[in-house]
Amino acid sequence: MKYKITFLCFMFYLITNCGSSDSNDDNVESNFEIELFYTETVSIDELVEVTIVGNEDLKSAEASNDASFDNNTGISFLLELQPSIVRYFTFDKLGLNTVYIRGYNADGIVSVKELNVNVVRGNAIKINAIEIVSFSGINNTWDDEFAETDINRLADVFFLLRKTKAFFSDGEYNFNRDWFRSEVLENQGNLTWDLSDEALFVGPGFPVNFLAADMDDEGYVGDLMLGRYYYSIGFSEDEGSQPEAFTFNFPDIDLELLVSVEWPN
């Protein structure tokens, strides 16, 4: 009789435990899913509106350039549950661009969808070459360890282009990013960079930030901008004409640039 009671107790434990487990599974089950609504083909630097809609109210959402979300650069925490969220993006790489969107419901259940946008050139201008015509201290000594007659005393010049971008923004271009960094021309070289293979497209009139520096072997950077963080340049038609090159002068730091461009057909 003792063993029969023990056996019955054991069976009762199994039945009640299994029942409890099934109940817990029911509690965490969810059909939560998000959908993305957007224009699938856009132009360079065009502000793209994306509506994130959940079949349940959304608590938060985030975006990333990689599926792991290790480097997510956009996130939104809602003050109250909402059925949808609207966010904005820009793209400047031709062809298919993919962003991963992750939404959360009130219980923290996750749904992930891919945002796949086909980017076309549209009216974008292509930067084909940049020449630094002059800068303050050109042909002077930038590396003091070399004699005045040694060519190695000259600046080893590179430039950086920065561009504003929208990524999971509320409607604005919400941050500046490093867009292109040139190779270093040792001892000034000819101070001309051929960029025709770099696919550097920019919307007409869209601002691009420029800065230049001297790079030493030890990694020390000399300031060709004389304390100015950057200067803004842009490209637009001039009274209906489409110049093949633009000259930019910044007299306060004796900086002159010549930028060669290609207009869309």
Q: Using one digit for the tens of pLDDT, what is the confidence trace for 91-126?
A: 999 999 999 999 999 999 999 999 999 999 999 999
Give dist(CA 256, CA 133) in Å, integer.
5
What lies within 8 Å, CB to CB, of 249 at 6+ separation is: 255, 256
* Half-sphere exposure of residue 20: CA atoms within 13 angstroms, side-chain side: 6
3-class DSSP state of 5 = helix
For domain 125-164+177-262, say whether CATH 1.10.3470 is its number: no
Residue 8 per-residue DSSP state: H
Tell me the pLDDT band of 7, cut-offs 50, 70 and 90: very low
Ranked by mean pLDDT, the top range of 28-32, 182-186, 235-239 is 182-186
What lies within 8 Å, CB to CB, of 26 at 6+ separation is: none
Six token digits for residue 252: 């306060």
The per-residue pLDDT for 219 is 66
Give dist(CA 166, CA 174) in Å, integer.
5
When the candidates are 2.40.160.60, 3.90.1150.10, 2.60.40.730, 3.40.50.880, the CATH number that belongs to 34-120 is 2.60.40.730
Q: How many CB atoms lie within 10 A of CB 218?
A: 5
Query: What are the domain boundaries of the chain?
Result: 34-120, 125-164+177-262
Average pLDDT over residues 156-169: 95
The per-residue pLDDT for 24 is 39
Q: How many CB atoms lie within 10 A of CB 161?
A: 21
* Mean pLDDT computed over every residue of the chain: 88
| Identical fold between 34-120 and 125-164+177-262 | yes
Give dist(CA 45, CA 179) in Å, integer.
13
Angle at 37 between CA 101 and CA 71, to 5 degrees: 15
